[in-house]
């Protein structure tokens, strides 16, 4: 699925680079593993090849995909009031589900909805953390995929969700 050197996205952690693919024997069973490091985090991650889909690890989005999603986010979520009407617990569950799936669209939805809710009322601490982490991860992906500085990626994201 992935090759050494591929730039991947690991939901809830961010962008990483595949360092190696190794076979390891654990409890008498030999399996192949991806080992990768996260770009802005000292953490190294080792995942069995056969479990990568379960963790929703994917290649980072390409420039065209990012441009399309950023251009279209406000149109697709113009009726975000559905989320505004959810109680906190239901919103939290929806956001966690979206972040676990890990598509850039899902992260942008979380950012867009929480940004609009923040205008209506103060976010609680958990929602504030969701917004902060989602923005950080999306900015990282935009920056790397489009070869932009962090500040340029922030500007692009802010413009899209405004």
DSSP the chain: ---TT-EEEETTTEEEEEEEEEEEEETTEEEEEEEEEETTSS-EEEEEGGGTGGGT-EEPPPHHHHHHHHHHHHHHTTTTHHHHHS-HHHHHHHHHHHHHH--HHHHHHHHHHHHHHHHHSPPPHHHHHHHHHHHHHHHHHHHHHTT--HHHHHHHHHHHH-
Instruction: Assess contact for 30 and 48: CB atoms under 8 A.
Output: no
Task: Check residues 87 and 59 and name the one with the higher pLDDT.
Answer: 59
Domain-wise residue ranges, the chain:
6-59, 63-161
The mean pLDDT of 120-149, rounded to a whole number, is: 95
Superfamily of domain 63-161: CarD-like, C-terminal domain (1.20.58.1290)
Residue 37 has pLDDT above 60, yes or no: yes
94-113: per-residue pLDDT in tens?
899 999 999 999 999 899 88
The mean pLDDT of 42-58, rounded to a whole number, is: 93
Q: What is the mean pLDDT of the chain?
A: 91
CATH class for the domain made up of 6-59: mainly beta
């Amino acid at each position: 699925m992935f090759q050494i050197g591929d730039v991947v996205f690991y939901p809830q952690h961010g962008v990483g680079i595949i360092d190696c693919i190794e076979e390891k024997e654990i409890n008498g069973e030999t399996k192949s593993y991806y080992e990768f490091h996260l770009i802005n985090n000292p953490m190294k991650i080792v995942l069995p090849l056969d479990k990568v889909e379960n963790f929703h690890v994917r290649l980072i989005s390409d420039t065209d995909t990012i441009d399309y999603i950023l251009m279209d986010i406000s149109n697709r979520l113009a009726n975000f009031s559905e989320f505004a009407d959810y109680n906190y617990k239901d919103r939290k569950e929806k956001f966690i589900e979206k972040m676990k799936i890990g598509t850039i669209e899902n992260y942008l939805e979380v950012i867009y909805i929480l940004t609009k809710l923040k205008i209506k009322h103060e976010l609680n601490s958990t929602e504030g953390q969701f917004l902060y982490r989602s923005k950080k991860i999306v900015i990282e992906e935009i920056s790397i995929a489009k070869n932009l500085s962090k500040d340029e990626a922030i500007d692009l994201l802010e413009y899209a969700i405004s």
